[in-house]
Amino acid sequence: MEGQIRLYERRRYPRFPVDYPVDCHREDGGRIFVGKAVNASEGGLMVCFVESMNIGAMLAVSMLFNLGYQLTEIKARCQVVWKDVGLVSDFPGYQYGLEFLDIEEYDISKLKQLRKYTADQMV
């Protein structure tokens, strides 16, 4: 298995690269803090924050982005499912995997549009 190239995506929701601002606050209170999203999928986000959080933390998250010339955002209730340091070289701090726990279907459709828009821009 080592050294083999996968020709298909094994994830339930394929990731796609993004570089958009994210703000969030912990559901148990606290201040709002900002960071950036590195990749996204219909199941969650990989984000970078300077703030340290524990795995399992519950967050209210908002990501602002553009679809062509239209500025829009998604909002979701998320849980931190993994944490690491130093994965993104141009961002100091922590990287987190956030799983969507509660997100409106309308926001999922915006993510699908963003994925298509991102793929079209790479061609």
Q: How far is CA 77 from the centre of its chain?
A: 12
What is the spatial distance between Cα 119 and Cα 123, in angstroms, rounded to a whole number?
Answer: 7
Q: If we measure between CA atoms, which residue out of 44, 46, 4 comes closest to residue 35?
A: 46
What mean pLDDT, rounded, does the chain reach? Answer: 86
3-class SS at 27? coil
Structure tokens at 58: 């519950």
Alpha-carbon distance of 86 to 44, in angstroms, equals: 20
What residue spans of the chain are helical by DSSP H?
105-122
In angstroms, rounded to a whole number, what is the distance separating the alpha carbons of residues 69 and 66?
6
pLDDT band at 42 (very low <50, low <70, confident <90, very high): very high
Q: What pLDDT, on a 0 to 100 scale, did the predictor assign at position 37?
A: 95
Map out the domains of the chain with their CATH numbers: 16-122 (2.40.10.220)
Rounded to whole angstroms, how far apart are CA atoms 119 and 104? 23
Q: 12 pLDDT band (50/70/90 cuts)? A: confident
Residue type, 85: V
